[in-house]
Amino acid sequence: PVLNPLRVVVVDDEPLARSGLAALVRRDPELEVVEECGDGRAAVEALRRHRPDLVLLDVQMPELNGFEVLQQLDPQRLPAVVFVTAYDRFAVRAFEVHALDYLVKPVSTVVLAAKLRAMARLKAMQSRLIAMSSEEAGLRGAKRYVDAHRRELSEVPTFGLFVDGVYDEVPLKGIVVWN
């Protein structure tokens, strides 16, 4: 099993299309379907609840269309979006809302599988970079900063942090938190 699979929500109002997309995602061990939704309102709830890495999103659906779904979400917490729709006329608008890709149904399973694998690889690389940054640069950098500025920092609010097995206090000012 993959430690950190790409978490995917599949949204399509056509049950056959939705189950087919979900089945394709499930074939890849680096991907995990966390929920399938048949309309826009259910999609908003699922995206808020799961905070997935990727959403495969239909454009025209009951309740809310794909663009309205994205408008309901916090722009800072949007997953990567791949529109999968029967209509090519929404492609320009899709890229205006920063969609990662736009696929017109029927989608070639080979093309979709290749795109999903590429996204999984990108996420794995991103996770490694974040881990390296937070572990190596962040913790060691924080310890060096504290050591160099210990006297000046005595008045700054702090939180506790273990660095190289030693408990230290690190200033809240200027700390970047990765999630």
Output the CA–CA distances (angstroms, integers) from residue 156 to 8, 160, 161, in the order listed: 41, 13, 15
State if pTM tops 0.85. Answer: no
Helices 15-26 & 109-132, crossing angle to 10 degrees? 50
Alpha-carbon distance 147 to 153, whole Å? Answer: 10
Question: 84 near 66, Cβ under 8 Å?
Answer: no
Q: Say which residue the tokens 């794909």 belong to.
A: 66
Token reading at 120? 């999984």
Q: Is the Cα dihedral 53, 59, 63, 68 positive or negative?
A: positive
User: What are the pLDDT tens digits along the chain (179 aa)?
Assistant: 667 888 999 999 999 999 999 999 998 888 899 999 999 999 999 999 999 999 999 999 989 999 999 999 998 888 889 999 998 899 999 988 888 889 898 888 888 888 887 777 776 666 666 565 555 555 555 555 555 545 444 443 333 333 333 334 443 333 333 33
